[in-house]
Amino acid sequence: MVADHAQLASDIRALEGLSVFIAYNANVDAIVRVGEDLEPFLERPTEPGKRHPPSPLDSKGDLATAITHTMAAGRGDEVAMTDEFSATLESELEPDSQQMGGQTGIMTNLVSALGASPVTYTYLISDRQLSMFDHADAVEYPTVVDGEVTFLALREAVNTDRTKINWVFEFRVDDELFDVRAIEDTRFIAASRPPEFNLVAGDLDEHVDQVGAAVDGALLAGYHNLTPEHVEEGYEQAHRHARDVIRRLKSGSENELPVHIEYAVTHDDDLRASMYEWILPEADVVGADTHELTLLYDDADLEVVDEEPTEETPFERDEILGHYRMLEAIRDELGVGCVQLHAMEYHLAVMDSYPRPDAVARGLEFSAVNAATKAALGDITGHEDLETGLEYEPSTKGREAIELLADHLDETAEDGVLSTPTVAACPNRVVEDPAGTVGIGDIVSSSSFVLELAVANDRDGP
């Protein structure tokens, strides 16, 4: 245990002042606990729990369909809303609480809490959105003046009265809605899609290489936020533009800038296909959870496992072999350096020509501490909070699964941690009664990536 505390202290020191560009999606999450008070607000759906939700959501009946389907499936989900229905929720439903939302917002809050230095871009920054940044004074915002990128204090970047609001409906095992019982602790997100979000950042796009020259790495997300209303000629045009921006961002660095792209669920098949073709191949690292990994695998039309692991059945340690094969096939298909999975019991990465293997393994172990802290406290406001994560032991189920994978690869896992030139894995630290589930995947991906950067850049010894 003493060694764990010493390692955590070393990790925190390594992150001090690390500069990371984070874009593009931030919003406010309006949290609603699913219970008996919510049912009268909604309309009873046809076949509760059985029908897949329509997209976009346009009524209280659509929303009830989506929530009950997620409860019955036992895994988190997200579906976009129409602007009109989004306005209805804002005017008629009172959230139980509000917090920072959106991958960029969540990752910015974590990176700044850990002592690193985020440069954050998002399309809409209202005073309400600004209030959700825990360390706004530590965040810079890139803007262009006469062809030169300057970095403003975030408080100087407020540009709208409008706030992007996502509605997060959280439930625990055995919670009920319209006679459907939840089988896991998870959540459904009804996501707003303001027209301002179009993956075009004005003058910044043409000069983003100057941002690349000023930072150590980039955490990018939000490419799934497009809707047909955002694009005139299909998703390809928007994503090709976004691809060119990523390449320009990388070109500004003397050594090609490491880029992590965080994947996210969308039920729009054309949108997923466009992301797969134009965005994901530009990443050095792609991050996904088990649901997102299944979508990636199915969309790639790969056939390396007979039966995909699913969260709808009890955990079996040999499912890690399926996850490993899926990750390996997707990494090879995309041609990226690394694909990382954050699962309930373990974190797993498959890589090729990506930063030092010990950096990836150390990043995954650090992310498990961050995930446990987030689950236990509901938020991470400073690096001192991470001591809470150390109170939770690494998952025994995760350790056993990783040992099975190590045997399969003819390798050895030390204390449950596997670290080879092509595979890294560590047990997660599971919190049985989490304070909240929203954003844990983003916490895992961002914490692991920033520590990978720090270690690969020799900012601190192991």
Q: What is the pLDDT of residues 445-460, one digit of tens each?
A: 999 999 999 999 887 6
Largest CA distance in the chain: 60
**pLDDT at res. 436:** 74
**pLDDT at res. 233:** 78
Percent of the chain with pLDDT over 90: 82
The pLDDT mean for the chain works out to: 93
User: Does pLDDT of 462 surpass 90?
Assistant: no
Please give the Cα distance from 385 to 393 (Å, whole number): 16
Query: Mean of the pLDDT values across residues 95-123?
Result: 96
* pLDDT band at residue 2 using 50, 70 and 90 as cut-offs: low
| DSSP annotation of 391 | T
Please state whether the peptide bond connecting residue 297 to the residue before it is cis, i.e. omega within 30 degrees of 0.
no
Please give the Cα distance from 178 to 166 (Å, whole number): 23
User: Minimum mean pLDDT among 126-140, 308-322, 416-430, 435-449: which range?
Assistant: 308-322
Q: What is the pLDDT of residues 215-234, one digit of tens each?
A: 999 999 999 999 888 887 78
Structural domain boundaries of the chain? 2-27+101-161+195-456, 30-99+163-191
**pLDDT at res. 434:** 87
**pLDDT at res. 275:** 97
**pLDDT at res. 460:** 60
User: Does pLDDT of 64 surpass 90?
Assistant: yes
**Count of C-beta atoms within a 10 Å radius of residue 303:** 8
User: Does pLDDT of 142 surpass 80?
Assistant: yes
**Fold for domain 2-27+101-161+195-456?**
UDP-N-acetylmuramoyl-L-alanine:D-glutamate ligase (3.40.1190)
Please give the Cα distance from 346 to 394 (Å, whole number): 9
Q: Which amino acid is at 183?
A: I
Higher pLDDT, 434 or 58: 58
**pLDDT at res. 138:** 97
- 10: tokens are 């070393």
| Tokens 């010990």 found at | 358
| Tokens 């809605």 found at | 177
**pLDDT at res. 357:** 84
User: Minimum mean pLDDT among 233-237, 318-322, 365-369, 452-456: which range?
Assistant: 233-237
Give 220's strand partners. Answer: 23, 261
Query: Under CATH, which architecture does the 30-99+163-191 domain have?
Result: 2-Layer Sandwich (3.30)
Q: Note the Cα 310 to chain centre separation in Å.
A: 19
| Tokens 């809303």 found at | 81
Ranges of beta strands (E only) in 246-405 are 259-262, 285-289, 338-342, 346-351
What one-character-per-residue DSSP string does 258-303 give?
A: PEEEE------HHHHHHIIIIIGGG-SEEEEEHHHHHHHHHHTT--
Query: Mean of the pLDDT values across residues 412-434?
Result: 94
Please give the Cα distance from 232 to 187 (Å, whole number): 32
User: Does pLDDT of 27 surpass 80?
Assistant: yes
Please give the Cα distance from 65 to 43 (Å, whole number): 9
**pLDDT at res. 122:** 96
User: Does pLDDT of 310 surpass 80?
Assistant: no
Please give the Cα distance from 434 to 392 (Å, whole number): 12
Please give the Cα distance from 197 to 158 (Å, whole number): 16
Cβ density class 32-62: b for 16+ within 10 Å, e for less: bbbeeebeeebeebeebbeeebebbbebbeb
* pLDDT band at residue 90 using 50, 70 and 90 as cut-offs: very high
Query: Mean of the pLDDT values across residues 181-206?
Result: 91
User: Does pLDDT of 322 surpass 80?
Assistant: yes
Assess contact for 53 and 266: CB atoms under 8 A.
no
Assess contact for 239 and 223: CB atoms under 8 A.
yes
